[in-house]
Each structure stands twice: as structure tokens, then as C-alpha cells.
Amino acid sequence: MLGRGLRVLGQAIRDEPRLFTVGVVGSSLFGLLIIANSYVVGAVVGHVVVPAFADQHVRAGTLALVAAVFLGISALRVASIFGRRLGAGFMQFRLQARYRRAVTRRYLSLPPSWHQSHATGTLLSNANSDVEAAFVPIAPLPFAVGTIVMVLAAVLALFLTDWVLALVGVALFPALFGLNVVYSRHMSPRQIRAQHMRAKVSAVAHESFDGALVVKTMGREEDESRRFAVFVTELRDALISVGRLRGLFDPVMDSLPSVGTLAVLLLGAWRLQSGAISVSELVTVAFLFTVLAFPVRAIGWVVAELPRSVAGWDRVQAVLSSTGDLHYGPIKLEKSGEAAALAFENVDFRYGDGPLVLNGVSFTVPAGKTVALVGPTGSGKSTIASLAIRLVDPADGTIRLDGEALPSLTEASLAGTAALVPQIPFVFDDTVRGNVTLERDGVGEDDAWRALRLAQADRFVEKLPEGLDTAVGERGTSLSGGQRQRITLARALAGRPRLLVLDDATSAVDPRVEAAILGSLRGRDAGASILVVAYRRATIALADEVIYLEQGKVVATGTHTDLLATHPGYADLVTAYEKAEQERVEA
């Protein structure tokens, strides 16, 4: 654990060498000034205080000189403390900010499949408390390094003053370091468990808050509170275990320097009586042991926090080293304004090591055409939507956009050409303008209003209190489900995509508005091919072609009218609602 902790600190020093140097220089200066101050105190006692008692007189000039020396040393110590804390503080906070940004960038670069296997609360804990824990020892680190310099100088000073008393220090310091090693070995598993439980509590809390509506409407408040209490109790117990060990360790660490000081005074008194040392030398050594007690604790602070630091660092590195990235190619598609063509060629797909979700899927979306994906629940429609804009890659087969395989395109070119509007709309806690434009280059107010018109959202936005600049609340709480869907659709359209993938993206709007939306999207102003996952018969009928899926396979293609007449499975699916309604009326 000590070795792993020192490697984490080494990485931190490599990341911020200048700030570390500032902190260490300030800390080293502070330590050397402490040693210098001990000699000054010894000299004052031996050459000023003792003679003053003997002569019953002290000169004002001598007192002024003593005061000036003490004030000078104090001023330098203030400057050294400022430098030490400035370097350590800036270093710690800059490292935390750097790695929080790195973790967030990594989150955004990893595919949805990775996110689906990690709880949101755990990811929040990685970016927050784990990063913070990883660099907790940075605050006392420069002080600890400066303390090592001070200890070496102090041992040298002790031997130069009196080698017998110096042996006490030589025996004391290894005892301090050995105690820290034993403490680290016992603290490590406790800190690792505490960090793990912090992540669990964060995950459960996030899930409870995110599902507050379900919890309240189902009357499960007490059950959810009890579930949360279980994890909170485990975290409490883990932290109490950490506190108990630290409560045992801290008093022992505090007592060792005091024991050393007492030993020095007892042994020093005997040395003084024998004439081996002077009063000045005894006072210097005793004062040195007294003032060393607090700085030596800085080493203990660093070692005490290493288990927590390693636990946090390991969790952060687990994110940064995660695999599964989608690699992009060098090809850029032109922003021609013309609709793009999409082709699936014998595409297979599975989630992880599971069975095939798609098996040999082949179809095309001709430029400027609307193609509907229809099939029973679990037939692979949403998976095709994700594959079409390369949120995931197929296990086998090829997907082409304007004749180019998706992996050969640059990330920017793919994002600028194809856009997905998902089943569940996500609205940021921002204004309507911010949600539609996303501050993208080249997307201005005119583009926002154009997109809102195509999404049939312009009328209700105009009626909002501040129009485009109306704040919609977290997840768009001030909007209805249909309004959120239309804002999400407008966001995709504002970038003028040449391929638009709609994954049941209009399910929350009434059929009349849905028909108007699809009609506007098929017009010249939209300029996009459309792949739509559809369930409503009226929506399906607007498509130029229908792809019918069953169990991950394309079993039929054609127009809606043709499939109704030729494929019983398709006819049963799309007329199921009408049949159920007719049976209800007849009953």
C-alpha cells in the first residue's frame, strides 16, 4: 500500500512539478527556520537570560537585538508558510480539476453500452469523491517533504551539539516511520471499503431521486427510505471503523515526540551535571524536540491518507483505462444540403456475449425517402436506430452512409450528417434556445426557429413567457411530454442533418401533430432522409417503404398497403389496436 500510494504521489508531482517545488521550498525553509530558532532560543537562554539572573541586570540594547532576531525569523516563517500552503493548495485543486475533466471526457467518449453497465450514481462518485480522495494527501505532501529535510538537518544539528542526545532522535524517528507503516497496512482495507460504500450510497440516492415520481405514486416512500438506510448504515460503519483506527493512531503519534523530549531532558540534565554540555546546548536540543513534534505529524498525515488515496485513484483509473472506444476514420462527407443514403449490409449485432439481437439485417434508406421500421417489441428496431448513427458497432456486416462505411468517417462528419431523436427525450436545465442550439457553431436564432417550425413546436414556444429564452427546468419539467419530444426533435433538426433517425420520437404527441411533423420533414425544407421506428398505423402509412422485423431479422419489405395484403404477421401487428377496440365495442 505504501508503494502504491507513493506511486500516486509521484504521478501527482509529475503532473504539477512547479507548484510542488514552490510548496517544498516553502516547507524546507520553514523547517530550517525552526532549527535556526532553536539555536537562537538556546543562545538567548544561555547568554542572556542566565547571566541576567546572575547579574540582576540586562541591557536594553541586548533585548532589542533579541527581539529583532525573533521578529526576523518569525517574518521569514510567515513567508515560508504562505509559500508552502500556496503551492500545496493550488497543486491539490488543480489536480482535482484536471482529473475531473479527464474522467468526464472519458465518460463522453465511451459508448452507450459501457454506460448501461455502470450506475449513474457510481459514475458521479468517480468524478467527485474518488477524484477528491485520490489527491487528499497532496495538501500535507510538500510539508511532509520539507519535514524530511528538516529532520535530516535536525539530526545533523543534534550530532553536532551532543551525540548522546542525538541517539534519542535517531531512535525516535524510525519508531515514528514504523508506526506509520503499520497504520497504513491496517487502514488500507477500511478506506477501500469506505470509498466503495460512498459510491453505493451515491448510486442508490441518485436512483431514488431520479425515480421520485414512481416512488411517490406507488406509495413506496418508506420502503425506499429503508433501502437507502441499509447502505447509509454500512457507510457509517465503514467510516466509524476508519475513525476508530485513526483515534488509536493519532494519540500514539502525538505521544512519541513528547516521550522523546522527556528523555532528552532527563538525559540532558545528567549530561549538564557532568559538564559534558552547556545550558545553551541543552535548551537547544530540548526546544528542537518540542518544535519537531508538530511538523513530523505531517508525514503521518500523508501516510494516513495513502490508503484512501489509493482507493480513489484505483477507481478513477478504472474509468480512464476503460476500453470500448469507437475509432473513427479520415473520410469527411460534404455538407451538400442533399439528403444522404443509408445502407445496412448483412448486419449482425449482440449485446456483450449474449445471443444475436440482429441477424443478417440488410435494407436501404434511399436519399430523400422515408423508411419505417416496424416489428414486435424486442425485434431490434431501437438497436438498428443506434447502429445507424454509430452509437454502437455491429458484430458483423457493414453500415454505409452515402456509400462510405461508418467507421471510415470522421466523428465530426458523422455527427454533422446523421442525427438521432431517441424514444425518451432529454431536455437540459436550460432555456429553449440553449436546448435547441446547444451553442453549436453556425446554429443561430433563425436556425432555431426553422427547426421549431419543422417540429411543430414554434407555436407553443411563442406563447411561453420569454419565448426562446424561457427556462424549461430540470429535464424540461415545465413542458408536457409532447412538448419535450418536439424540442428534442428541433434540436436534431437545427444542425441540418442529411439523415434523421426517429426512434419512436413522436409517441407523446397526438396523431394530428405527428402527421404534421412527418409531413414537414418530408418537405424540401428538411432536406433529410428519414428512418423512423413507428408503431402507429397512420405514421407507418406516411413512409415510402416499410421494413418489417421479427426476432432480429428482416422478414418483409414493401409499402404499407402491400404488406397489409401479403403478410399476415404485419397485418396483425399494425391492426392490433383497431381489432382490440372493435372487440371492446362489440362486447
Query: For position 380, which CATH number holds?
Result: 3.40.50.300
Whether residue 448 lies inside any domain: the answer is no
Whether residue 451 lies inside any domain: the answer is no
Provide the domain count of the chain: 2
What pLDDT sits at residue 384?
Answer: 92
> 272 with 397, same domain?
no
Q: How many residues does the chain have?
A: 587
> 122 with 203, same domain?
yes
Residues 6 or more apart in contact with residue 309 via CB below 8 angstroms = 5, 8, 9, 133, 134, 135, 136, 137
Q: Which helix (H) or strand (E) holds 401?
A: strand 396-401
Domain end, chosen from 320, 355, 384, is at 320
Whether residue 466 lies inside any domain: the answer is no
Query: In this structure, are residues 313 and 136 in contact, taking their beta carbons and an 8 Å threshold?
Result: no
> 150 with 238, same domain?
yes
> 133 with 272, same domain?
yes
Number of neighbouring beta carbons within 10 Å of residue 411: 13
Query: In this structure, are residues 381 and 533 in contact, taking their beta carbons and an 8 Å threshold?
Result: yes
Whether residue 446 lies inside any domain: the answer is no
CA distance 328 to 337: 23
> 314 with 355, same domain?
no
> 44 with 192, same domain?
yes
| Domain of 277, in residue numbers | 2-320
Whether residue 489 lies inside any domain: the answer is no
Q: Distance between alpha carbon 510 and the CA centroid of its chain, in Å?
A: 40
> 137 with 83, same domain?
yes
* Mean pLDDT, 10 residues at a time, the chain of 587 residues: 82 89 84 73 64 62 70 79 84 91 88 74 81 86 78 74 72 71 75 79 75 71 82 88 82 72 76 74 70 64 78 87 82 82 92 86 91 89 90 90 90 88 85 86 83 86 85 80 86 87 79 77 71 83 89 90 87 75 53
Is 0.75 surpassed by the pTM of this model? Answer: no
Whether residue 194 lies inside any domain: the answer is yes
> 252 with 360, same domain?
no
> 170 with 247, same domain?
yes
> 80 with 32, same domain?
yes
> 237 with 359, same domain?
no
> 241 with 359, same domain?
no
What pLDDT sits at residue 53?
Answer: 59
Query: In this structure, are residues 134 and 261 in contact, taking their beta carbons and an 8 Å threshold?
Result: no
Whether residue 274 lies inside any domain: the answer is yes
Query: In this structure, are residues 96 and 135 in contact, taking their beta carbons and an 8 Å threshold?
Result: yes
CA distance 467 to 432: 8
Q: What is the CATH number of the domain that holds 267?
A: 1.20.1560.10
What pLDDT sits at residue 577?
Answer: 62
What pLDDT sits at residue 365?
Answer: 92
Whether residue 454 lies inside any domain: the answer is no
The phi-psi region of residue 551 (left if phi > 0; otherwise alpha if psi is between -120 and 50; otherwise beta) is left
Q: Which helix (H) or strand (E) holds 550?
A: strand 545-550
What pLDDT sits at residue 162?
Answer: 73
